[in-house]
């Protein structure tokens, strides 16, 4: 059975239909990459899965089903239990999602204590351990730091550590590597692949980088102007697709030893 099913969903902000007729299924331990140009509605889709549409956005048609239950009818309390426990999200800049005036530890402890009855000390230890599992040396020091004291790559790892604390079944990643250097990007990509291999986490990855999308994704979905333009398995999308838009995007990716302009 598919873990997540998005069935013919329309999403509107006010009277504007931003995403139209979007369908997608995701199985256990599967990675699906959503690619597209800016403004194509890719982030809107994954925000809808978590019920986090900004500025009065609403799912106006269709259904989103997670493990056999519709997410659209969730009460506030049900959302609170689900978010960060069964479904987690990693943002483009994880530092920006945290309160800048509080240490990482304080935010982390608060998050852990929402989901589990632990003392502050136990929660702190759990957080520090989680950071170290995500290859952040000296978890205790990082727990005592403020977000702005860490580099972009470290902040992103803190975001992944937080998201992975309860080993969610589904991880939503919104441009997790776009703000990072290539070397750090490679580290984060590798770490996300390991999450899938070790914990069986399913991942939806939203990115505009077709290289990363095809390295990570079992499936690739191409979006354009709020509609799904093309979708399929990676090999199909890279080598067999007939869709002209997909081909145009693929052709635009600079590759090593590929086309030279001079």
Partner 1 sequence: MFNEKELILEAKHVTRRFPAAGGRELIACNDINLKFYKGKTLGLVGESGCGKSTFMRFLVWLDKPSEGEIIYHGKDITKLKGKELHKNRQNIQMVFQDPSTSFNPKMKIRDIVCEPLLNYHRIKPSEKDATARRLLEMVELPGDFADRFPHNMSGGQRQRVAIARALALEPEIIVMDEATSALDVSVQKSVIELITRLQREKDITIGFICHNLGLVQSFSHQIAVMYLGNIVEVMPGENMAQVCCHPYSKALLDAVFDTKMDFSKKIEPIKGEPPSPLDVPTGCPFQDRCEKCMEICRKEKPRLTALSPEHEVACHLFAKGERA
- Give Cα separations from 246 to 42, 164, 195, 240, 243 (angstroms): 15, 32, 28, 11, 6
Q: What is the DSSP letter of 230?
A: E
Number of residues that bind partner 1 (CB under 8 A): 39
Which residues between 16 and 75 bind partner 1 (CB under 8 A)? 37-38
Q: Which of 55, 56, 68, 257 binds partner 1 (CB under 8 A)?
A: 257
What whole-number distance in Å separates Cα of residue 99 and Cα of residue 246? 39
CB 188 → partner 1: shortest distance, Å? 9
CB 213 → partner 1: shortest distance, Å? 9
Closer by beta carbon to partner 1, 9 or else 154: 154
Start-to-end CA span in the chain (Å): 51
Question: Which listed range, 6-14, 98-106, 118-126, 208-216, lies at the site for partner 1 (CB under 8 A)?
Answer: 208-216
Closer by beta carbon to partner 1, 55 or else 254: 254
Q: Which of 208, 227, 232, 243 binds partner 1 (CB under 8 A)?
A: 208
What whole-number distance in Å separates Cα of residue 24 and Cα of residue 7? 7
Provide the greatest CA pair distance for the chain. Answer: 63
What whole-number distance in Å separates Cα of residue 104 and Cα of residue 209? 29
Q: Which of 16, 75, 100, 251 binds partner 1 (CB under 8 A)?
A: 251
Q: Which of 146, 209, 229, 243 binds partner 1 (CB under 8 A)?
A: 209
Helix (H, G, I), strand (E, B) or coil at 156: helix
Question: Which listed range, 26-34, 43-51, 100-108, 245-253, lies at the site for partner 1 (CB under 8 A)?
Answer: 245-253
Which residues between 173 and 192 bind partner 1 (CB under 8 A)? 181-187, 189-190
Closer by beta carbon to partner 1, 68 or else 257: 257
Contacts 24+ apart (CB under 8 A), 190-197: 191/134, 191/135, 191/157, 191/160, 192/160, 192/216, 195/160, 195/164, 195/171, 196/29, 196/31
145 binds partner 1 (CB under 8 A): no
Helix (H, G, I), strand (E, B) or coil at 158: helix
Closest CA relative to residue 34, chosen from 160, 164, 172, 168? 172
Residues facing 24 on adjacent strands: 6
Q: Which of 14, 199, 211, 233 binds partner 1 (CB under 8 A)?
A: 211
CB 26 → partner 1: shortest distance, Å? 19
The binding site for partner 1 (CB under 8 A) comprises: 37-38, 151-154, 181-187, 189-190, 208-212, 214-215, 234, 238, 248-262
């Amino acid at each position: 059975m598919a873990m997540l099913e998005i069935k013919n969903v329309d999403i509107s902000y006010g009277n504007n239909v931003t995403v139209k007729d979007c369908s997608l299924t995701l199985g256990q331990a599967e990675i699906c990459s959503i690619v597209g140009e800016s403004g194509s509605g890719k982030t809107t889709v994954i925000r809808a899965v978590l019920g986090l549409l900004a500025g009065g956005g609403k799912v106006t048609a269709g259904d989103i089903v997670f493990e056999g239950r519709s997410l659209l009818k969730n009460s506030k309390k049900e959302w609170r239990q689900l978010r960060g426990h069964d479904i987690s999200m990693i943002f483009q800049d994880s530092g920006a999602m945290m309160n800048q005036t509080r240490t990482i530890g304080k935010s982390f402890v608060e998050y852990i204590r929402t989901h589990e009855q632990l003392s502050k000390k136990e929660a702190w230890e759990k957080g520090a351990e989680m950071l170290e599992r995500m290859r952040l040396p000296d978890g205790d020091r990082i727990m005592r730091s403020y977000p702005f004291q860490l580099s972009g790559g470290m902040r992103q790892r803190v975001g992944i550590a937080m998201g992975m604390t309860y080993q969610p079944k589904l991880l939503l990643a919104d441009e997790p590597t776009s703000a990072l250097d290539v070397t750090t990007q490679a580290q984060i990509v590798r770490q996300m692949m390991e999450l899938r291999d070790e914990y069986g986490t399913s991942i939806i990855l939203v990115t505009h980088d077709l290289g990363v999308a095809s390295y990570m994704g079992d499936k690739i979905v191409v979006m354009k102007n709020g509609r799904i333009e093309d979708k399929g398995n990676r090999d199909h999308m890279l080598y067999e697709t007939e869709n002209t838009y997909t081909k145009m995007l693929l052709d635009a990716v600079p590759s090593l030893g590929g086309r030279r302009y001079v």
